Chain A
Amino acid sequence: MRVLCFVSLVVLASPFWATDGRAQDRGSIEISGRVSVAGAQVKLKRKRFYLFRGGLEANKAMIERIKAASVTSRDCFYCKAKASAEYTTWLKSGDCESPYCREIEGQDIEKVPEFQAAYQKGLKQFRGKPNLAQKWLTTNLTPALRDGFYRDRKTLTTGLLGAAKPLQSSMTDSVSVVAIFIDIPLNIAAGKKTETFLVSNLVPIEIGDKSYVWACEAEISVGKKVKLPPLPLADTSKIVKKCEVVVRDLPKCTVGSCAQ
C-alpha cells in the first residue's frame, strides 16, 4: 500500500519537475518613439506601449474597439472640465497632461486662479505654512483638474482592452526615446523560428492637430533583440506595413468653445 502511494505521488508529480527543468525561450523587442512628421522628427517621450500575443488578426476585436472608441483630447477634456484659460495655458506651456507634470512655482500660483484657490485653501489647512501649501498644492485642486485626465485615460484603456490581456507594457524613455520589452516568454510553433506579437499604444498620442494609435505586428525570435520598424504615419486610418494606424483629427477646443 505504502509503495502504491509512493508510486502514485511520483507519477502525479513528474509533469511538474519535467517542465521546471526547461527554461522557456525568451525574446525581446525595442520600439522607437521617433516618428517623422512633415520631414521633422517628433519624439514620443514617456508614452506607454502594450505587447499582446498574436498579430492583427488575432487581436481584431481589440483593434475594432480602438477604431470605434470615443476619445476626448487633452484640450477638450480640460475645456469641458471648465479649466480657466490660465490653467490650460500652464499645461500647454510645459506640454503637460496634468498638474503632476512639473513643479508648480510661486509665479504659477499668482497667475493661475485654480492654483491660487488651492494655495489659499492649503494655507488654512496647513496652519499658515506657505511652503506646504505650495508643495502640496495638488491635494487641494478639484478632482477633474487634478487627476481627471489620468482617470479618463485609464477608463479608456480598460475599455479598449476588454478581455485582452497584455503580456507586458513599457514606456518610452525621454532620452533614447525607446520602449523595451524584455524576457518575453515565447511559444514558437513547430517549424517556425518566430512568434507573432502585436505592439500598440492603445491610448491616442497627440501630434500636431491629429492623434494616432498604432497596432503593429512584430515577429520575435529567441535571444536576439528585435527592433520594430519606425511607427508609420498616415493622413487617414489605414494599414501600413503590418501596422494598423488609427488617425483622428483633434477637435478645436478652447475655453468657452468645447467642440467635443
Chain B
Amino acid sequence: MKRKVFTISAVLIVAIIFAVGSSAQNRDRFSHSTPAHQKKNCASCHNMPTANWVAARGFPDVADFPGHAACASCHMRDFFRGGNKPIFCLGCHSDVGPGRGPRFAFPVQSRSHEFLTKFPHNVHQDVVARNDSRNEIAVAHFVNASFTRNVDDKPPQFNNCAICHETSTKLPKLETLPPKDKSLTPLGLALTESFTPAAAFFKDMPSGHQTCFACHYTGVKPVANNCAGCHTLTKSYTDTNILGRYSLKFDHMDKNERGDFVHTRDCMTCHVRISQNDDIAKMKDPDVPILACIACHGDKLTEEIGKRESSVAANTAAFQCSYCHTTAIGRFAIPLSHK
C-alpha cells in the first residue's frame, strides 16, 4: 500500500513539474535575449507602425507580431518541425496547424517581460518648465491675434506630472512595505485593521506607448522607431503590478472640512527628489521624504510619537501609529527619520 501511494505521488510530482515547465516554456517561447536575436536590429523584425494600428490601438504603434518573413530567414526548418503541430509557431499563434491559426493579442500580457524602460524625470521636468517669472503678460501688440480668454473659458492646461500620472480609477494591488531600516523590529502583533484605501488615493502611470509618442513619435529623440532609446534588454521578469507603500493611508485626493483638496499641490512639493531623477529604475518607491509630510502634519507626528513613548514608559502595549500608517507598519519601532 505504502509503495503504491509513493509511486502515485512520484508520478504526480513529475507530471506537475513537467506541466509547470512546459507552461513556462510556452509562455516564454520567444526570447529577445538569444545571441542571434540580439544581433538583429529591432526594425529588422518589427514594423513601426504595424498595418493594424488604427483598429488595434487608435494611434500608430507596434500592435502586431512581425510577419512570417522575419522568422523564416533563420527558422525555416522549425516551421515544419513537429508535423501538423509545429511547436515553434506557438511563439505567436495560440493554435497551430495547417492554415492560418489565430494569433495571441500583441503583446502577450501573460509572458515575462524582457525590457526595462528608461525614463528621466529630470529632463521632462525641465522641458515642461514655464517662464513664470515675468511681471507682465505680454500682449499681442504686434500681432493680429489675441490669446486673452473669456471669464467662462476653462483655464489653460499647463503641462505637469498629470500628463502621465492621472488619478487611478481602479484600486491597484497593494502591499505595505516594511521599514527601510531593517534593524527596526515590531513592538507587538498588528492590531486588527479595518482601513481600506480607495482607488483615488493613487496615481497611475503610462502602460503603453501612447503618452510617450505624443511627443516622441517623430522629431524629439528618442523617436518611436528607436526602441533602444527607451528600452534596455534585461533578464526576463514577471511584473507583479503590486504597489508598495509605507503610508497606505495617504490620499492624493483628500479633502478638508470645507471640501477643498488638500494634497493637490505641485507634485514636486512632496516628491522633492523627482526633479533630479535621471532614471526611473533608480526609484524604488514614490520617494516622499518624511520632511514633506512634517511641513503640514508635524503636530500629528509629535502626538503619535508622544503616545508611543508614553505607552512604552508605562510598560503597556506599545501604541501603534495609525495616522499615516496601517498597523502592519505602525507597530514597528519609530525610525530616526521621524524624530
Closest CB-CB distance, A192 to chain B, in whole Å?
23
Q: Are B266 and A175 in contact (CB under 8 A)?
A: yes
Partner of A182, one of B142, B148, B272: B272
Chain A residues near B50 (CB-CB < 8 A): none
Within 8 A of B (CB), among A107-150: 108, 111-112, 126-127, 129, 132, 135-136, 138-141, 143, 146-147, 150
Q: How far is the CA of A189 from the CA of B140 in the complex (A)?
A: 57
CB < 8 Å: which of B131, B147, B159, B266 contacts A90? B147
**In the complex, are the beta carbons of B132 and A174 less than 8 A apart?**
yes
Q: Please report the C-alpha to C-alpha distance between residue A27 and residue B325 in the assembled complex, in whole angstroms.
A: 26
Interface hits, A237-256 → B, CB 8 Å: 254-255
- Least CB distance from B339 to A in Å reads 10
Tell me which residues across on chain A come within 8 A of B130, comparing CB atoms: 45-46, 94-97, 101
**Cross-interface CB contact of A46 among B129, B143, B276, cutoff 8 Å:** B129
A45 touching B133, Cβ below 8 Å? yes
B275: CB under 8 A from chain A? yes
Q: B187 → chain A, closest Cβ, in Å?
A: 23
How far does the Cβ of B274 sit from chain A's closest Cβ, in whole Å?
9
Residue of A89, A103, A182, A206 ringed by the most chain B CB atoms within 10 A: A89
Interface size on B, residues (CB 8 A): 50
Give the contacting residue for A89; candidates B60, B147, B213, B273; CB below 8 A: B147
B98 adjacent to chain A (CB < 8 Å): no
The answer to whether B138 and A168 have CB atoms under 8 Å apart is no
CB contacts (< 8 Å) of A183 on chain B: these are 289
Taken residue by residue from 260 to 300, chain B's Cβ proximity to chain A (1 for < 8 Å, 0 otherwise) reads as: 00000111110011011000000000000101000100000
Min C-beta distance of B11 to chain A, whole Å: 48
| B275 / chain A contacts, CB cutoff of 8 Å | 48, 169-171, 179
Q: Which one of A13-21, A36-44, A54-62 is at the interface?
A: A36-44
The verdict on B216 contacting chain A, using a C-beta distance below 8 Å, is: yes
A154 cross-chain contacts in B, Cβ below 8 A: 126
Indicate whether B127 reaches chain A with its CB closer than 8 angstroms. yes
The answer to whether A182 touches B289 (Cβ under 8 A) is yes
Interchain CB contact under 8 A, A206 and B133: yes
Question: Considering only CB atoms, which chain A residue lies closest to B138 in the complex?
Answer: A92
State whether the Cβ of B242 lies closer than 8 Å to any Cβ in chain A: no
**A81 proximal to B (CB < 8 A):** no
Contact with B along A162-184 (1 / 0, CB 8 A): 00000011110111100110110
A97–B134 contact, CB under 8 A? Answer: no
The CA-CA distance from A132 to B276 in the complex, in Å, is 31
* B-side contacts of A219, CB under 8 Å: none
Q: Does A191 contact B (CB under 8 A)?
A: no
Q: Which residues of A contact B135 (CB under 8 A)?
A: 37, 40, 42, 207-208
Cα separation A90 to B215 with both chains bound (whole Å): 19
Q: How far is the CA of A254 from the CA of B143 in the complex (A)?
A: 11
By a CB distance below 8 angstroms, the chain A residues around B148 are 93
B218 & A140 in contact (Cβ 8 Å cutoff): yes
What chain A residues lie within 8 Å of B125 (beta carbons)?
Answer: 46, 171
Q: Which residues of B contact A222 (CB under 8 A)?
A: none
Q: Is A102 an interface residue (CB 8 A)?
A: yes
Interface residues in B225-279 (C-beta closer than 8 Å to A):
265-269, 272-273, 275-276
Name the residue of chain A whose CB is nearest to the CB of B128.
A100
B303-331 to A contact mask, C-beta < 8 Å, 1/0: 00000000000000000000000000000
Using Cβ atoms and an 8 Å threshold, which residues of chain A touch B219? 138-141, 143, 146-147
Q: In the bound complex, how far is the Cα of B77 from the Cα of A117, in angstroms?
A: 51
Cβ A85 vs Cβ B291 within 8 A? no
4 shortest interchain CB distances as A-B pairs: A92-B138, A93-B147, A171-B275, A173-B266
List residues of chain B with CB under 8 Å of any chain A CB. 54, 58-60, 122, 125-140, 142-143, 145, 147-148, 156-159, 213-220, 265-269, 272-273, 275-276, 289, 291, 295
9 example contacts (A-B, Cβ-Cβ < 8 A) are as follows A43-B132, A92-B137, A95-B131, A111-B147, A136-B59, A146-B220, A150-B126, A169-B276, A207-B135
Residues in chain A within 8 A of chain B (CB atoms) = 28, 37, 40, 42-48, 74, 85-86, 88-90, 92-98, 100-103, 105, 108, 111-112, 126-127, 129, 132, 135-136, 138-141, 143, 146-147, 150, 153-154, 168-171, 173-176, 179-180, 182-183, 205-208, 225, 254-255
